[in-house]
């Protein structure tokens, strides 16, 4: 009889972080010290932000190495060791005896924290959202001391919001709404300044809610105005200086108003991220300073020192001001202290787009429409890169059609000055790692992309081998959307990204940063790892199928900033001659 394999799945950083978070929540529910609770959540968040795998850290240096992870001390290090070596954590199991596991889920409902969750459980034995909904309908909660009918209403609304907002929305869905409201605010005579803040200003790929900030000497007028704008579905809270609404599209929007001399401190504070701010305040505290949304204060005298601009706030701590996109407490604070922040790539640095489809395959527009749009965007070059033959569903080009397209491109290059139209193609990496055409066809093109469009369920080994074979093909310049993820729809395919990074760097193959808002692939953390650990280079592409989508380059650049990329790392920022030279080097 065959022994059942005892092979254990290797534990991921996310799993470790989730368990630590859950321990924190359970400790919170049973009323443990908030500092102990916070310590677990802090360790979890630190592990989530790690680019290296915790397992690897442990293999290299044991418990001692685990303790070098910020926020992880000797206790947590030992617990992580137990998890890694035995796959179990007795401490976690003991806690689950005391706190029913689903109770921590209730804490995900806005307005419900550990204390109320515990009271509800103790009084009514409820630990699921379904049970809670039922109890609310029967007005059971009002019987609990400290609970009124207002609380019932709020929890019910919290449940609805939780169910609706469970999935975060795409940056590209939130950004235009936020910009619109900021513009509206700026037009009001009683508003001095207004800006986006929070994860939106940091340009995260998905957004939970929209944070806005304004400065004014008449805060109550701003509040009155805000809750009456046409976008409001209902008002969650309205105060003197802070209000929250739910917009008609279901997004929660928070607006805070401060006085003009507080604006910089407030903008810094509300931009976050939370770990970034906590780290910053810790530094301030050690210097006898206190930071809040109103300014930086001397603790000894309680005198307000600065606050009008963000630069003042960072400056008084002896730091340069990090771009919002990298304020995640992943080393930017140390870099800002040592004045070695990188000069991140900007939208203005982009000279063209490598991945655009036309009606020759599955796009909507003519090549000339694309060229016009590229000119409008101020580009120096544009690559026409339709699908190739084997991707039948997308109407891929045959070699004959490609010849025809090459002639048209040559003609258009005669017609247009100031922009160069490069010939390209997005080939398909088949199940064996081969692409549509051989050197006799691909050799005629300026740029060749290769992407995986199917066979996602192959094993990790197979997928990795496929992609590496394409990378080793001397005619392939760019690997399109390397992980294949589609936000909210499809997880990334299982692939050994580190092997891919290594192969790409070794062969001079560029990795795509697909700027399409539901892809953003490679994502921020991957970009940074590929760059810093492997020396990879990248191409930012919109993958537009309509010319209107070519403006999504903005989201690609924002993601590149989040990955700490500079112009040197990104092919789009070079002069056309230089680009052609770099592309030919591989052949």
Partner DNA sequence: GCCGTTTTCGGCCCGACTGTTTTCAGTCG
Cβ proximity to DNA, 229 vs 283, nearer residue: 283
Which 114-173 positions form the footprint of DNA (CB under 7 A)?
A: 114-117, 145-151, 153-154, 158
Question: In the complex, what is the shortest distance from the CB of residue 142 to DNA, in angstroms, rounded to a whole number?
Answer: 8
Cβ proximity to DNA, 207 vs 579, nearer residue: 207
Q: In what order do the strands lie in the sheet with 510-514?
A: 352-356, 381-387, 420-428, 447-451, 478-479, 510-514, 538-541
Q: Give the CA angle between residues 542, 548, 552 to the nearest 5°.
A: 35
Structure tokens given for 402: 């490609």
Question: In the complex, what is the shortest distance from the CB of residue 301 to DNA, in angstroms, rounded to a whole number?
Answer: 14
Question: In the complex, what is the shortest distance from the CB of residue 484 to DNA, in angstroms, rounded to a whole number?
Answer: 31
Beta-carbon count within 10 A of 158 CB: 18
Question: In the complex, what is the shortest distance from the CB of residue 157 to DNA, in angstroms, rounded to a whole number?
Answer: 10
Answer for which of 8, 36, 52, 64 binds DNA (CB under 7 A) is 36
Question: In the complex, what is the shortest distance from the CB of residue 28 to DNA, in angstroms, rounded to a whole number?
Answer: 8
Cβ proximity to DNA, 146 vs 418, nearer residue: 146
Cβ–Cβ under 8 Å, residues 76 and 100:
no
- Single out the segment in contact with DNA by CB under 7 A; choices: 33-41, 57-65, 82-90, 184-192: 33-41
Cβ–Cβ under 8 Å, residues 40 and 72:
no
How many Å apart are CA 288 and CA 526, to the nearest integer?
38
Treating both helix axes as pointing N-terminal to C-terminal, what angle do 553-562 and 171-186 enclose, rounded to 10 degrees? Answer: 100
How many Å apart are CA 84 and CA 55, to the nearest integer?
7
Question: In the complex, what is the shortest distance from the CB of residue 14 to DNA, in angstroms, rounded to a whole number?
Answer: 19
For the CA atoms of the chain, what is the radius of gyration? 27
How many Å apart are CA 164 and CA 157, to the nearest integer?
10
Which runs of E-coded beta strand occur in 475-545?
Answer: 478-479, 510-514, 538-541
Which 3 state secondary structure label does DSSP give 438?
A: coil
Cβ proximity to DNA, 213 vs 445, nearer residue: 213
Answer for which of 33, 163, 376, 585 binds DNA (CB under 7 A) is 33
Question: In the complex, what is the shortest distance from the CB of residue 32 to DNA, in angstroms, rounded to a whole number?
Answer: 9
Q: What is the separation, in whole angstroms, between the first and last Cα of the chain? A: 54
Cβ proximity to DNA, 205 vs 209, nearer residue: 209
Question: In the complex, what is the shortest distance from the CB of residue 508 to DNA, in angstroms, rounded to a whole number?
Answer: 40
Count of residues that interact with DNA, criterion CB under 7 A: 63
Which 3 state secondary structure label does DSSP give 570?
A: strand
Cβ–Cβ under 8 Å, residues 524 and 549:
no
- Single out the segment in contact with DNA by CB under 7 A; choices: 66-74, 169-177, 224-232, 531-539: 66-74
Answer for which of 18, 55, 65, 75 binds DNA (CB under 7 A) is 75
Answer for which of 61, 73, 378, 535 binds DNA (CB under 7 A) is 73
Question: In the complex, what is the shortest distance from the CB of residue 559 to DNA, in angstroms, rounded to a whole number?
Answer: 22
Instruction: Tell me: does residue 222 bind DNA (CB under 7 A).
Output: no
Beta-carbon count within 10 A of 164 CB: 12
Structure tokens given for 498: 């580190």
Answer for which of 17, 43, 185, 213 binds DNA (CB under 7 A) is 43
Question: In the complex, what is the shortest distance from the CB of residue 25 to DNA, in angstroms, rounded to a whole number?
Answer: 11
Answer for which of 13, 45, 76, 196 binds DNA (CB under 7 A) is 76
For 248, phi then psi, to 5°, come to -60, -25
Structure tokens given for 256: 């805070």
Question: In the complex, what is the shortest distance from the CB of residue 254 to DNA, in angstroms, rounded to a whole number?
Answer: 6
As a three-state string, the secondary structure of 347-412 is HHHCCEEEEECCCCCCCCCCHHHHHHHHHHCCCCEEEEEEEECCCHHHCCECHHHHHHHHHHHHHH
Cβ proximity to DNA, 92 vs 456, nearer residue: 92
Question: In the complex, what is the shortest distance from the CB of residue 38 to DNA, in angstroms, rounded to a whole number?
Answer: 7
Instruction: Tell me: does residue 372 bind DNA (CB under 7 A).
Output: no
Cβ–Cβ under 8 Å, residues 320 and 341:
yes
Question: In the complex, what is the shortest distance from the CB of residue 218 to DNA, in angstroms, rounded to a whole number?
Answer: 14
Which 496-555 positions form the footprint of DNA (CB under 7 A)?
A: none
DSSP string of 401-453, one letter each residue:
HHHHHHHHHHHHHHH-SS-EEEEEEEEE--TTS--S--HHHHTT-SEEEEE--
Instruction: Tell me: does residue 72 bind DNA (CB under 7 A).
Output: yes
Cβ proximity to DNA, 103 vs 388, nearer residue: 103
How many Å apart are CA 393 and CA 357, to the nearest integer?
14
Which 3 state secondary structure label does DSSP give 199?
A: helix
Cβ proximity to DNA, 168 vs 465, nearer residue: 168
Cβ–Cβ under 8 Å, residues 305 and 289:
yes
Cβ proximity to DNA, 115 vs 581, nearer residue: 115
How many Å apart are CA 451 and CA 478, to the nearest integer?
9
Per-residue x/- mask for DNA, residues 191 to 210, rule CB under 7 A? -------x----------x-
Per-residue x/- mask for DNA, residues 82 to 121, rule CB under 7 A? -------------------------x-xxxxxxxxx----
Which 240-299 positions form the footprint of DNA (CB under 7 A)?
A: 240-242, 252, 254, 270, 274, 277-278, 281-282, 285-288, 290-294
Question: Could you tell me where the DSSP H helices lie in 227-273?
Answer: 263-271
Answer for which of 39, 89, 468, 476 binds DNA (CB under 7 A) is 39
Which 445-484 positions form the footprint of DNA (CB under 7 A)?
A: none
What is the contact surface with DNA in residues (CB under 7 A)? 33, 35-36, 38-40, 42-43, 67, 70-77, 107, 109-117, 145-151, 153-154, 158, 198, 209, 211, 237-242, 252, 254, 270, 274, 277-278, 281-282, 285-288, 290-294
């Amino acid at each position: 009889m065959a022994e059942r394999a005892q092979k254990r799945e290797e534990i991921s950083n996310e799993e470790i972080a989730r368990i630590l978070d859950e321990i924190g929540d359970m400790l919170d529910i049973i009323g443990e010290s908030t500092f102990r609770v916070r310590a677990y959540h802090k360790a979890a968040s630190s592990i989530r932000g790690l680019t290296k795998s915790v397992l690897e850290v442990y293999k290299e240096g044991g418990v001692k190495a685990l303790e070098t992870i910020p926020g992880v001390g000797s206790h947590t290090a030992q617990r992580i060791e137990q998890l890694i070596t035995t796959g179990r954590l007795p401490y976690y199991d003991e806690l689950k005896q005391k706190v029913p596991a689903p109770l921590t889920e209730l804490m995900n409902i806005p307005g419900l924290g550990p204390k109320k969750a515990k009271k509800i459980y103790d009084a009514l034995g409820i630990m699921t959202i379904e049970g809670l909904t039922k109890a609310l309908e029967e007005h059971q909660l009002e019987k609990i001391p400290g609970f009124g009918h207002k609380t019932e209403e709020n929890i019910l609304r919290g449940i609805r919001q939780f169910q609706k907002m469970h999935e975060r929305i795409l940056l590209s869905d939130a950004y235009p709404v936020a910009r619109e409201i900021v513009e509206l605010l700026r037009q009001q005579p009683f508003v001095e300044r207004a800006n986006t803040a929070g994860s939106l200003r940091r340009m995260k790929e998905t957004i939970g809610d929209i944070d806005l900030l304004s400065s004014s000497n008449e805060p109550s007028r701003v509040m009155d105005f805000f809750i009456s704008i046409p976008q409001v579905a209902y008002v969650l809270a309205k105060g003197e200086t802070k209000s929250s609404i739910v917009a008609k599209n279901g997004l929660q929007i928070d607006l805070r108003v401060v006085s003009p001399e507080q604006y910089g401190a407030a903008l810094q504070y509300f931009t976050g991220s939370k770990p970034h701010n906590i780290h910053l305040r810790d530094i301030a505290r050690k210097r006898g300073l206190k930071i809040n949304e109103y300014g930086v204060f001397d603790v000894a005298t309680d005198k307000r020192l600065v606050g009008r601009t963000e630069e003042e706030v960072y400056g008084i701590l002896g730091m340069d001001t990090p771009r919002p996109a990298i304020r995640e407490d992943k080393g930017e604070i140390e870099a800002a202290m040592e004045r070695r922040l990188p000069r991140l790539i900007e939208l203005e640095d982009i000279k063209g787009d490598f991945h655009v489809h036309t009606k020759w395959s599955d796009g909507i527009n003519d090549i000339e429409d694309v060229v016009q749009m590229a000119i409008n965007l101020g580009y120096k070059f544009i690559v026409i890169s339709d699908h190739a033959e084997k991707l039948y569903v997308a109407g891929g080009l045959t070699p004959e059609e490609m010849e025809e397209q090459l002639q048209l491109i040559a003609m258009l290059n005669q017609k247009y000055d100031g922009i160069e139209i490069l010939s390209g193609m997005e080939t398909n990496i088949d199940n064996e790692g081969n692409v549509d055409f051989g050197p006799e066809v691909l050799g005629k093109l300026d740029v060749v992309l290769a992407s995986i469009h199917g066979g996602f369920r192959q094993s990790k080994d197979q997928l990795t081998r496929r992609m590496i074979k394409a990378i080793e093909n001397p005619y392939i310049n760019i690997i399109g959307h390397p992980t294949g993820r589609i936000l909210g729809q499809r997880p990334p395919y299982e692939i050994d990204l580190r092997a891919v990074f290594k192969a790409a760097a070794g062969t001079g193959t560029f990795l795509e940063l697909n700027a399409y808002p539901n892809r953003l692939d490679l994502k921020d953390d991957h970009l940074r790892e590929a760059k810093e650990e492997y020396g990879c280079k990248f191409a930012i592409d919109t993958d537009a199928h309509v010319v209107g989508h070519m403006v999504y380059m903005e989201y690609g650049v924002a993601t590149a900033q989040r990955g700490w990329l500079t112009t040197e790392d990104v092919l789009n920022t070079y002069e056309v001659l230089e680009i052609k030279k770099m592309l030919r080097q591989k052949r």
